[in-house]
Structures are given as C-alpha cells and as structure tokens.
Structure 1
C-alpha cells in the first residue's frame, strides 16, 4: 500500500482511501494489483531471467491488458534493479533528476520498493509516493517527477508505454525543488 509524504509540510498520508483521494486530486493514477498472484519463487527475486520476466508478465496479463486498453498503452516490459545490477549508481543518477515525459510513466511494482517524487499543484508542491508490492502508479505526461529506489535498493516493476521505443526523459529545471 502506497504512502505519501508532502515535502513542504512533512505531512504523511497512509490511509488507502486518503492516498487514492490525494493522488487523484494531483492527477496521478493509483491502483493496486493482487500481489499474492505472483508465484512464490518470484517474491523478492531481483535478478531475473527472461523466463522469470515472462512469468511475471503472464501472471498479470489480465491487469496489464485492462489498463493498457483503458489508457492506450501499447507495449510493456519488466525492469529489475538491485545492488546486483551493473552500474546501479549511474543508472540511479539518470533517474534521480527532475524530468517530464511526452507520455505517462507507469509502474506496477511486483517486488521490492521504490519512490516517485512528483511535483503537485501549487499548494502542495513536491510529494513522495512510497510504493510497495502491488502498487500501480501512472504519473501523467508533462508532470515533473523522478523515481529512485528506497533504502532496500531493490525493485521489480512492470513498465507500460504508448510509444514502442519507450519514453525519453526531458530535464525539468526547477529551483523550487530541494532533495
């Protein structure tokens, strides 16, 4: 279940209904998939073979196709990051810069934890969305944000795209952003 921290007030939102209400107000899609569907051998496995990735996609095929049909996503894949990922610090540096995209950034977490830092409306400012297994989030096209790992440094997620080539990050310079 996702938790939110509003950066300028340090307010935390942890109740599921309040999380959904807050994210909806910020134009961020939030859903939850049944994490118990995933085969046991893939729980907390962060170095994945092609067969493992196929098994995750097959497990959530119905959910993936439903959200893809509803939101126009055409392709999907799996991203797996952990301390075993070659060049993890360099990869994270690329993610950890505020940016926008010309399409939604969608993640469905199947193992581990991660965090999106998203620019909300003027009143809210930046907020953190801490994601765990089963959480699905879609940051809208053009909304400034970035993604990083949490202290566990491990995540597996389904990514969905409109453009078959995937998204490209456009840097967003924002002097109001403080890490």
Structure 2
C-alpha cells in the first residue's frame, strides 16, 4: 500500500492529510518536484541478485537513465534473517544510518522491486511521509530535506540510480525532527477503534 501522510513539522500526531490514492499522492508531491510513479512489477526469485533484478527491469532502467543523467545503477536489498543472531543489530545499524534529516547534492531515486520503506520530506512547516511499496518509483530532487525509515524489520529490494560514484553522500541538518514524527511502523500500525 502506497501511503501519504502530511503532518505539521512540530506535531506529528496532527494528521492534515492521509491517503492511499496514488494519483492524489503524486499531485500533492508534484509542486515540490517529487516524482512518484508506478511500474509493473516482475516476479523474481527471493534470492535474485543484482544482475537478475536489473535485467528484469532493463527497459524501465534504460529509460530513466536516458532521462537522467543517471549513469550508475545498483540494487540494494535487505531481507530479515532470523537464523543470523547478528541480524537485529545489523538491521538496527542500517536503519539508523538514514533516520536523521539530511540532503544530497544529487537526486535520490529508488524503485521498489519488493518490500518498502518511507521517505519523509520536509517542506516549510510540514512533513510529507510517503510510504513506498513494490512497484513505486520515487525521485527526490537534490537539496530536498528528508530522511528515510525502513522500519524495525527492514524488508526491501530497490533499484537505486546515481549521477556520481559517491552518490549517497548525506549533508545532515542536525535537526531532531525525525524524533517528533511517527515512524514507518507507527504509520502502518492498525488504528485502534
């Protein structure tokens, strides 16, 4: 389920908008240069490697690279591994890396092949939490203040597009805003009632 929840930056409990309508979500994000679109998903084996994933989405990847410039493409995957006693610590460390508000000098583009995560985008006094799931392509323009939450039990496979070899370099803002806004797990928790 793709989801948008808009909240005041100083009060994450106050929901201004919550929708699962992909057309409405894309329209809400478009004024900020955020691109959200759906690609058809391709069934893949659970252990498909980078080459298999990129081959399955070759035409879409080439189209987006040409629109770029995004000459560098890779695949990032996190899958829970309950047989590895170190998995919880690894998952927590990976999640923590992205939870602080930051910007990048280049666009951040992700296509979710499977699983999902949440981009939090701050524009002025509002935060736009965008939960992306399999089939979602999200493009965040360079300089956009944001953070990302993969949840306490990360599960995703994503194709990432870069302009430069060192494309994922974060400029952290030092803000603690992420601590005032619902996490991915909280956004997706069933509503009591």
Secondary structure in 2 aligned to 1:127? Answer: strand
Q: Please point out which of 12, 33, 50 is paired with 1:27.
A: 33
Output the CA distance in 2 between the equivalents of 1:90 and 1:152. 12
Runs (4 or more) in structure 1 with deviation over 3 Å come to: 174-177
Secondary structure in 1 aligned to 2:92? Answer: helix
Output the CA distance in 2 between the equivalents of 1:134 and 1:151. 21
Output the CA distance in 2 between the equivalents of 1:164 and 1:155. 22
* CA separation of 1:175 and 1:94: change in aligned 2, threshold 3 A: closer
Superposed displacement of residue 149, structure 1: 1.2
Whether the aligned pair in 1 keeps the contact of 2:36 and 2:139 (CA below 8 Å) is: yes
Q: Which runs of 5+ in 2 are unaligned?
A: 9-13, 82-86, 182-193
Q: Please point out which of 70, 75, 80 is paired with 1:83.
A: 80
Superposed displacement of residue 23, structure 1: 1.3
Output the CA distance in 2 between the equivalents of 1:132 and 1:159. 14
Match of 1:103 in 2: 106
Match of 1:117 in 2: 120
Match of 2:188 in 1: none
TM-score, normalised via structure 2 length: 0.79
Q: Please point out which of 12, 15, 18 is paired with 1:12.
A: 18
* CA separation of 1:17 and 1:72: change in aligned 2, threshold 3 A: same
Whether the aligned pair in 2 keeps the contact of 1:79 and 1:157 (CA below 8 Å) is: yes
Moved more, 131-140 or 165-174: 165-174
What pairs up with 1:2-81 in 2 under 5 angstroms? 2-8=2-8, 9-10=14-15, 11-35=17-41, 37-39=42-44, 41=45, 45=46, 48=47, 52-81=49-78
Q: Which structure would you say has the larger Rg?
A: 2
Whether the aligned pair in 2 keeps the contact of 1:100 and 1:144 (CA below 8 Å) is: yes
Q: Which runs of 5+ in 1 are unaligned?
A: none
Superposed displacement of residue 13, structure 1: 2.0
* CA separation of 1:165 and 1:151: change in aligned 2, threshold 3 A: closer
Match of 2:174 in 1: 173
Output the CA distance in 2 between the equivalents of 1:130 and 1:151. 14
Superposed displacement of residue 166, structure 1: 2.4
Superposed displacement of residue 91, structure 1: 1.5
